[in-house]
């Protein structure tokens, strides 16, 4: 029997699966969930806790799996949907996270990039119309400190921030979203633990850490399908408006305004996701400890966004 891998993130929601799902244990495929079951609640939580990214299906079930994905995402984006917003947000978040993982693993795959870009456009359009959905996505806790999940959170904070700044041109917001999703591609092959407080890194590790925007931009710059603006955001997302960021110590005037938005969103979610700062405390911490590094109105607007989440 032939098994093919699928991403766990795509299996969210209450729709019953139309295929058997396997996990691989010591080179053996073990049936984990039968067709007719769904990946709700505890089951999903257990999978996330195991940090399992991939599962397997039989190759003969591939068409069923594709159909499942299509139905799942269409129902999540359906404005007449009767499903509750949290389930819909979980499905949408899962799709975005899987797309990010796909591009992180294979940036040379043109088709995966364009699929991710297209889905980013649909995502931003929906999130800007439906603030309850944006809040529900931001409420999904990143329990396994997953880098792709962090990308989705950064993109979502950036979207909410852009909306409050009245940046609504669809082409711009699509690339802002894509840049937010993919900003940390430079960490993908990193050997250091980036999912922790930075002051726990050794000086050598910190020096490597500070190369990640440059490394990321270099990884994608020869891929002609990557939009220039996305590469710019990857390269500039750790820069600060006062020149205290890295890798190039650029200042506000030298930075793309969309990079500045992603930088503010990234600093916020890094505190929440990797440094375990409670959500409501994070903007206050930015205000006090990082004064001058991000535009003051960004911090004030992010504080408003966070307050509305719960
Ligand atoms: Fe980063
Ligand atoms: Fe980041």
pLDDT per residue over 61-89, tens digit each?
Answer: 999 999 999 999 999 999 898 889 999 99
pLDDT value of position 31 = 94
Confidence (pLDDT) at 174: 98
48: pLDDT strictly greater than 80: no
Cα of 15 vs centre of ligand 1, distance in Å, is: 35
Q: Can you give the pLDDT at residue 41?
A: 72
pLDDT at 44: 75
* Ligand positioned closest to the Cα atom of 153: 2
CA 172 from chain center: how many Å? 18
Query: Environment class of residue 178 by beta-carbon count within 10 Å: exposed (0-12), middle (13-18) or buried (19+)?
Result: buried
Average pLDDT over residues 123-145: 95
pTM comes to: 0.95
C-alpha span between 130 and 109 (Å, rounded): 31
Ligand nearest to the CA of 246: 1
The residue to which tokens 């506000």 are assigned: 252
What is the rounded average pLDDT for all residues in the chain? Answer: 94
How far CA 42 is from CA of 32, 49, 96, 150, in Å, comes to: 14, 10, 21, 22
Strands of the sheet with 3-7, listed across from one edge: 3-7, 54-58, 21-25, 28-33
**What tokens appear for 241 in the block?**
């408006």
Q: Are 142 and 257 in contact (CB under 8 A)?
A: no
Tell how far the Cα of 86 is from the centroid of ligand 1, in angstroms: 28
Rounded Cα–Cα distance for residues 77 and 254 (Å) = 38
Distance 211 CA to ligand 2 centre (A): 13
**CA 68/CA 65 separation, integer angstroms:** 5
């Amino acid at each position: 029997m032939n098994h093919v891998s699928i991403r766990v993130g795509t299996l969210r929601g209450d729709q019953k699966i139309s295929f058997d799902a396997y996990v691989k244990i010591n080179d053996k495929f073990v049936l984990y969930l039968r067709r007719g079951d769904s990946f709700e609640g505890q089951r999903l939580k257990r999978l996330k806790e195991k940090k399992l990214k991939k599962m397997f299906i039989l190759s003969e079930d591939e068409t069923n799996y594709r159909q499942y994905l299509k139905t799942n995402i269409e129902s999540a984006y359906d404005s007449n949907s009767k499903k509750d917003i949290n389930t819909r947000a979980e499905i949408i978040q899962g799709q975005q996270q899987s797309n990010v993982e796909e591009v992180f693993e294979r940036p040379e795959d043109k088709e995966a990039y364009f699929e991710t870009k297209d889905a980013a456009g649909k995502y931003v359009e929906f999130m800007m119309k439906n603030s309850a959905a944006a809040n529900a996505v931001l409420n999904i806790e990143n329990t396994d400190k997953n880098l792709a999940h962090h990308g989705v959170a950064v993109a979502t904070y950036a979207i909410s921030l852009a909306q409050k700044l009245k940046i609504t041109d669809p082409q711009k917001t699509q690339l802002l979203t894509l840049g937010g999703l993919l900003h940390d591609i430079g960490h993908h092959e990193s050997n250091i633990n980036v999912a922790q407080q930075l002051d726990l890194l050794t000086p050598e590790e910190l020096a490597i850490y500070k190369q990640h925007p440059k490394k990321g931009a270099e990884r994608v710059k020869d891929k002609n399908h990557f939009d220039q603006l996305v590469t710019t955001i990857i390269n500039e997302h750790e820069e600060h408006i006062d020149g205290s960021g890295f890798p190039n110590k650029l200042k506000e005037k030298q930075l793309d305004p969309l990079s500045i938005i992603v930088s503010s969103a990234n600093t916020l979610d890094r505190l929440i996701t990797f440094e375990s700062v409670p959500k409501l405390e994070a903007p206050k911490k930015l205000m006090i400890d990082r004064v001058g590094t991000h535009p003051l109105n960004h911090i004030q607007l992010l504080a408003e966004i966070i307050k509305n989440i719960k």
